[in-house]
């Protein structure tokens, strides 16, 4: 897998990829939570964040992103791997790419995920995150540098 930075000409392709992965996991489009996918450049890059794309044989197989919430705080988001490419270390690579970027840009790094995504939660814990709060079906994590 080759990891590249997002380019605006791939916005629709990335949006369809993310929505496809969400659908595979039983999550539908959410008008509020998925609004960032309509303008990835504006939401992530123009706020000082970053969006990474994992490419294999010319097709998107994974994503990760860093959203800059303010001068000191970043949130890692959109870590997705196409189902047939899971278990190969690609999720780890995309997480670490986002984490490296966030560590260079922010002092506080957060992440939130659905409680049902146990493999993802275990990966986050393995790479230095700790759970700080659980609310409804959401787990909130903080990176401990």
Answer whether 94's CB lies under 8 Å from 64's CB.
yes
Question: Angle at the Cα of 123 (from 121 to 126), degrees rounded to 5?
Answer: 110
The pLDDT value given to residue 26? 87
Ramachandran class of 122: left when φ > 0, alpha when ψ lies in -120 to 50, beta otherwise: alpha
Q: Where are the domains of the chain?
A: 2-107
The pLDDT value given to residue 30? 85
Q: At 144, phi and psi to the nearest 5?
A: -105, 95
The pLDDT value given to residue 31? 84
pLDDT over threshold 80, residue 145: no
Query: Using one digit for the tens of pLDDT, what is the confidence trace for 110-140?
Result: 999 999 989 999 999 999 999 999 999 999 9
The pLDDT value given to residue 28? 87
Query: Using one digit for the tens of pLDDT, what is the confidence trace for 41-83?
Result: 999 999 999 999 999 999 999 999 999 999 999 999 999 999 9
CATH superfamily of 2-107: Gcn5-related N-acetyltransferase (GNAT) (3.40.630.30)
The pLDDT value given to residue 96? 96
pTM for the predicted model, two decimal places: 0.92
The pLDDT value given to residue 1? 95
């Amino acid at each position: 897998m080759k990891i590249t930075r997002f380019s605006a000409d791939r916005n629709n392709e990335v949006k369809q990829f993310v929505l496809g992965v969400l659908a595979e996991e039983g999550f539908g489009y959410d008008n509020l939570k998925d609004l960032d996918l309509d303008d990835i450049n504006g939401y992530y890059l123009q706020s000082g964040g970053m969006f990474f794309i994992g490419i294999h044989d010319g097709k998107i197989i994974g994503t990760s992103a860093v959203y800059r919430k303010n001068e000191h705080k970043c949130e890692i988001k959109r870590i997705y791997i196409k189902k047939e490419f899971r278990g190969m270390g690609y999720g780890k690579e995309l997480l670490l790419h986002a984490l490296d970027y966030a560590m260079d840009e922010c002092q506080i790094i957060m992440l939130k995920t659905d409680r049902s995504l146990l493999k993802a939660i275990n990966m986050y814990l393995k790479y230095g995150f700790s759970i700080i709060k659980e609310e409804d079906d959401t787990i909130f994590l903080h990176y401990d540098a």
